[in-house]
Amino acid sequence: MAKILSTKILEDAVYERLLAAGHALTQYNALEAESFPFSAAPYPVYVCSSQNAVAALREYWHRQDQNTLQTAKWFCVGEKTAETLEALGIQVTATAENATALIENYLKPLDTKILWFTGVRKTPALENFIREKGCDYMDCYMTRAVQKSFSQDFDAILFFSPSGIESYLKSNSLQSTTLACCIGETTAEAAKAHTTDLLVSKKASSMHLAVEVINHFKKEL
């Protein structure tokens, strides 16, 4: 049995999957997001960088030109983000595992105006794209660290963003015996500054990360 900490409250199915595998799970939200009121201008292409961006869009859906949004092309990072967009009646053209892959595979070839819904903090890939491509963006949310210290040691910690790692480390440290489990390469890059003991999910989904963690500890038995 492994002692696992998740820096995000997990969906019930993911939580139950880890428990069913015999692991002890502690979870909390290392970040809290605040949405900003906004109304999106008409664009032929929109991009969402995270579920927080979709949450902001959903909260202020009544302020949007819904027909324009629902008939435009949409791209996003992560399958879960796509699912939450589709719940708003938006058809997603393509998804990628991270912003870098989305930009390189889908957005750079486009010869049209793009509006990217994002948070105040941006990945280096997005900042470069905004500068080089002239991509427009809208800051529709910001995240704050939730500081919480833990007295016990964990065998594994699940991280879902670079800012989540930063939040956790405000009150804790990464022990040499702790496996840092990251939802993608962008998060893993941030973790590398603090540990070399990494597990990186090949897909940007909580369930996929949980399955890889379960398989990792099965191999250690």
pLDDT tens profile 119-170: 999 988 899 999 998 899 999 999 999 999 999 999 999 999 999 999 999 9
pLDDT of residue 205: 86
Kindly report the average pLDDT of the chain as a whole number: 94
pLDDT tens sequence across 10-49:
999 999 999 999 999 999 999 999 999 999 999 999 999 8
Q: Which residue has the tokens 């002890």?
A: 24
Return the CATH fold of 3-30+152-219: Rossmann fold (3.40.50)
Share of the chain above pLDDT 70, in %: 99
Q: 49 with 77: CB under 8 angstroms?
A: yes
Q: Do domains 3-30+152-219 and 33-143 have the same CATH topology?
A: yes
33-143 CATH: 3.40.50.10090
Task: Kindly report, residue by residue over 196-208, the tens digit of the pLDDT.
Answer: 999 999 887 899 9
Q: How does DSSP classify residue 62?
A: G
Q: Domain boundaries in the chain?
A: 3-30+152-219, 33-143
3-state DSSP assignment of residue 138: strand
Contacts of 15 (CB under 8 A, 6+ apart): 25, 27
